[in-house]
Amino acid sequence: MKMPKEYVLVLIIGLFLLAYLLEAVVDPLTISITSPYQYVTLGHWSRLPFTTAIITIRSLAVIMAPLWLLSFISGAFQYPCRALPTLHKKAEPDFDVFEHLTDIYGAKDYTSSAFVEG
């Protein structure tokens, strides 16, 4: 099921707003730690559940936002390298590797090649 991009934008904005609302309502505690990894290792995540929820919700929105933006340029680039046959092509019983390579690179006859004969 493919979700329209407008719904994803609403979801991302909603996550940011939810994190902001939780931060405004709960007023999370300020703790002094030297790295973000200390928050997890020292067990703060279980003692400060609302701060953990704010961090989780905001990080989810921050991860989703650039992916949403990159989804608009998915077909904009034409790569100079052509795709080689991949594993999903092996499922087709009539797939021929040599025919596929002939279509891509325009080679006409592999049997007369010195590489194949040698």
Tokens of 63: 């991860």
Does residue 108 fall inside a structural domain?
Answer: yes
Could you tell me the pTM of the whole model? 0.56
Q: Which domain holds residue 107?
A: 87-117
Does residue 81 fall inside a structural domain?
Answer: no
Q: In the prediction, which pLDDT does 79 show?
A: 47
Q: pLDDT means per 10 residues in the chain (118 residues)? A: 83 95 84 82 80 91 89 60 51 68 65 56
Q: Same domain for 16 and 55?
A: yes
Does residue 79 fall inside a structural domain?
Answer: no
Q: Angle at Cα 20 formed by Cα 1 and Cα 61, nearest 5°? A: 30
Does residue 82 fall inside a structural domain?
Answer: no
Q: Angle at Cα 71 formed by Cα 66 and Cα 76, nearest 5°? A: 120
Q: In the prediction, which pLDDT does 11 show?
A: 93
Q: Same domain for 27 and 63?
A: yes
Does residue 31 fall inside a structural domain?
Answer: yes
Assess contact for 54 and 22: CB atoms under 8 A: yes
Q: Same domain for 58 and 96?
A: no
Q: In the prediction, which pLDDT does 14 show?
A: 96
Q: Same domain for 107 and 68?
A: no
Q: Same domain for 9 and 37?
A: yes
Domain count, the chain: 2
Does residue 112 fall inside a structural domain?
Answer: yes
Does residue 80 fall inside a structural domain?
Answer: no
